[in-house]
Amino acid sequence: LHGRNITTDSFPELPDEGLVGTFERNYALGREDVSLLTSDHPMVTGAVDLLLGSEQGNCTFGIWPDLNDKTILLEAIFILETLAPAHLSADRFLPPTPIRILVNHKKEPAVLDLPPLNKGLPHKLLDNPKIGRKIIPSMFTSAEEFAEQQSQSLIRDANEVMTTQLEREIDRLRNLRKINDHVRPEEIEIAEDQMENLKKAINKARIRLDAVRLIWKGDPEAIKG
């Protein structure tokens, strides 16, 4: 690995002279000049974080050739996530969760599997005032509304799992206190507060747009500049 073709100045844990690495443990053990890269290696975890946090590649355009149709599709990937303090470990019950939404230019949800798409340029579509200023923005709005609807179901399920698990723990502490004075009332109060704070954090989970793909389903020649 070297930094000559890297498009960021902050690639994690990469020395100036570059690095030779492998995911094969046996190979790394036999070579002092080869670093073993594991799933928890700082470079690996840092590279994953860099990829997930980067805006590069999160917006694209594709063409679905179809001479019998004229449809604009918007595929949006939202991430549902909590913003809870780390000590609550809210991710146990609601980890960052992708929500995929596909809508057509009529602002209707489209339930279908996309085929491999052809490359193309969206300029002719976007240069159309009706499409660029009205249709596509309204598609974004509809996609966000559909994502919000799906997120409520995920939030409700996460709350049910969290409440069931923590109520069981609180009941265990209460019953244990009846026979063991070493279980302090403060321990039960802490567990109750944690459940209440987790409920608030999960209910405040929000969606954010993570990636989007605009798709033209129709004659490829119709959008050539």
Separation of CA 166 from chain center: 26
The two beta strands, 71-81 and 206-218, are antiparallel
Element (H, E) at 12: none
From 27-36, 57-66, 202-211, the region with the lowest mean pLDDT? 27-36
For position 191, what pLDDT does the model report?
Answer: 94
For position 140, what pLDDT does the model report?
Answer: 97
Nearest to 201 by CA among 89, 107, 122, 111: 89
80-113 pLDDT per residue, tens: 999 999 999 999 999 999 999 999 999 999 988 8
For position 7, what pLDDT does the model report?
Answer: 57
pTM of the model: 0.76
Strands ordered across the beta sheet of 97-104: 59-65, 206-218, 71-81, 97-104
Nearest to 199 by CA among 160, 171, 150: 160
CA distance 44 to 35: 12
Domains defined for the chain, CATH in brackets: 1-56 (3.30.360.80), 59-223 (no CATH)
For position 9, what pLDDT does the model report?
Answer: 58
Question: What type of residue is 145?
Answer: E
Residue 138 vs residues 1, 106, 135, 141: alpha-carbon distances, Å:
44, 9, 5, 5
111-160 pLDDT per residue, tens: 888 999 999 999 999 999 999 999 999 999 999 999 999 999 999 999 99
